[in-house]
A = this chain, B = another copy of it.
């Protein structure tokens, strides 16, 4: 059979879902075109480490052409998809038309500010390399500015860091930031009274990492407290002007830094496709993740809306996207053989959130762990997961070095 005649699978998005699907089709009788607006896959679970100057971008991003160098049935194209014609079966990319036989929409998510423009404008977010680097540059600049500021009111506002959102990202970011301050900044800014620095975590609800079992939520609160993160519950943000945070109950916090981690929605393109979207802009799918009326189109990851057994939508997590990528790769191969589609079932692999360098909470194999042992589980799992993308030796040595020597070489303030 001529290669040109093989069915053409177009995968839009090289996050966890798209990447997994592409790999799952490596031996399938198809031609694959993988499309992403970046030339790298981003290891999102560690992106907050870039924001707090713990890792550099190249440690969490890996070039797609390198990942797929040996997968001969795949071609990569960098670019932004501008439109999709589901009837004529093509996408438009960089002004060119690319026809498909199967389309996988794995376009991922973006930050949801819920319409709060002041927060979007004056706050920081951690959604891609650029926003994480911008956050890092800002954090480090605040220490530089504070170190030469004589006015104590102004200095305190520079050293007050507000993280919004008590989910895993907010917990991880605030914990890691508090550690950066107490372990590293304290040494590097000897002229600064580091006691003036505060990390405040705002949670609109009554609990941190709300989906976790109660004992882990309490452990998280306790571990964050030990790291001097001030957690405020029932704290509903209403406005942020870059100088002061305003809460619904009238509380004001003077702060030059707000990091927003409290919302995700499907990437904006889902609203321009003319398909039915559910909450957070996610595209409603059939049980096997197909677009209703278009069995040749699959939607997966953050962009897909599919309900759990219990009527809840599946969470926007990398573990969901990875399992869906596998499922779609399998279902495409079933379709090619004329077999029926298998509905997607999510198998919860457990929960895991880290709170700094030697503390985490984990729910795994039906057991709850917290403290150092959960952190060790986290380290092993993440090193295991990341080695698919990077050479394990350098990552491992970097980590080991940092852990033993508390050295950290990436506190560069770059100009954007």
Q: Chain A: residues with CB nearer than 8 A to chain B?
A: 38-40, 56-58, 61-63, 65-66, 69, 75, 77-79, 94, 96, 129-130, 133, 140, 144, 147-148, 187-189, 191, 390-391, 393-394, 397-398, 401, 405, 407-416
Tell me the dominant secondary structure on chain A's binding face: mixed
Q: Is the beta-carbon distance between A391 and B407 smaller than 8 angstroms? A: yes
Residues of B within 8 A of A393 (CB): 397, 401
Residues of B within 8 A of A391 (CB): 401, 405, 407, 409
Q: Is the beta-carbon distance between A129 and B412 smaller than 8 angstroms? A: yes
Q: Is the beta-carbon distance between A412 and B40 smaller than 8 angstroms? A: yes
**Can you give 14 contacting A-B residue pairs, CB < 8 Å?**
A39-B412, A40-B411, A40-B413, A56-B56, A58-B410, A63-B409, A65-B188, A66-B407, A69-B187, A75-B191, A78-B144, A94-B148, A391-B407, A397-B397
Q: Which residue of B lies closest to A128 (CB)?
A: B415
Q: Is the beta-carbon distance between A78 and B191 smaller than 8 angstroms? A: no
Residues of B within 8 A of A407 (CB): 66, 391
Residues of B within 8 A of A129 (CB): 412, 414
Number of this chain's copies in the assembly equals 2
Q: Is the beta-carbon distance between A413 and B78 smaller than 8 angstroms? A: yes
Q: Which residue of B lies closest to A38 (CB)?
A: B413
Q: A39-B412, A66-B188, A78-B413 given; name 8 further pairs at CB < 8 Å.
A: A56-B56, A56-B57, A65-B189, A66-B407, A77-B147, A130-B414, A393-B397, A397-B397
A213 CB, nearest partner CB in chain B, Å? 38
Residues of B within 8 A of A405 (CB): 391
Q: A391-B401, A391-B407, A393-B401 known; A412 and B75 CB under 8 Å? A: no
A395 CB, nearest partner CB in chain B, Å? 10
Q: Give Cα A77 to B148, complex, Å.
A: 8
Q: Is the beta-carbon distance between A414 and B69 smaller than 8 angstroms? A: no
A125 CB, nearest partner CB in chain B, Å? 15
Q: Give Cα A382 to B271, complex, Å.
A: 53
Q: Is the beta-carbon distance between A63 and B414 smaller than 8 angstroms? A: no
A283 CB, nearest partner CB in chain B, Å? 26
Residues of B within 8 A of A416 (CB): 416
Residues of B within 8 A of A188 (CB): 63, 65-66, 69
A36 CB, nearest partner CB in chain B, Å? 11
Which of B75, B130, B394, B409 is A401 in contact with, Cβ under 8 Å? B394
Residues of B within 8 A of A75 (CB): 191
Q: Give Cα A96 to B147, complex, Å.
A: 13
